[in-house]
Amino acid sequence: MSIYDIGRIVVKTRGREAGKYAVIVDIIDKNYLLVDGLKVRRRRVNYNHIEPTPDLISIEKGADHTEVEAAIKKAKKTKIMNQTISIPIK
């Protein structure tokens, strides 16, 4: 069990979607993950550009966008997934 499990809710810390919540959908390789979310488009991200949260939802590896949305609603995480937090600039 790793902090970068499939179904883990993460916060993007860099890029145009910084501060938005996403869900890990797949592990591509040792440097990249595939994330998707309500306010985040499905995309490949570097491990260094996300921050994991303690929250986990139940999805299958490679789940499509509609399955991710349904799992978020089922886990009652819609409110947090629609939020944007401010990321301090380094």
Report the CATH number that the domain containing residue 48 is assigned in CATH: 2.30.30.30
Residue 88 belongs to a domain:
no
Residue 1 has pLDDT above 90, yes or no: no
Task: Indicate whether 89 pLDDT > 90.
Answer: no
Residue 40 belongs to what domain range? 8-81
State the number of CA atoms in the 13 A half-sphere of 29 facing the CB. 1
Query: Is 67 a member of any domain?
Result: yes
Q: Is residue 1 part of a domain?
A: no
Residues near 4 by beta carbon (within 8 Å), at least 6 away in sequence: 24, 27, 33, 47, 52
Is there a domain that residue 86 lies in? no
Tell me, yes or no, whether 90 lies in a domain.
no
- Mind listing the pLDDT tens digit for each residue in 59-88? 999 999 999 999 999 999 999 999 999 887
Residue 31 has pLDDT above 90, yes or no: yes
pLDDT given for residue 22 in this prediction: 97
Query: Which of helix, strand or coil describes residue 47?
Result: helix
Asked whether residue 46 is domain-assigned, the answer is yes
Number of domains present in the structure of the chain = 1
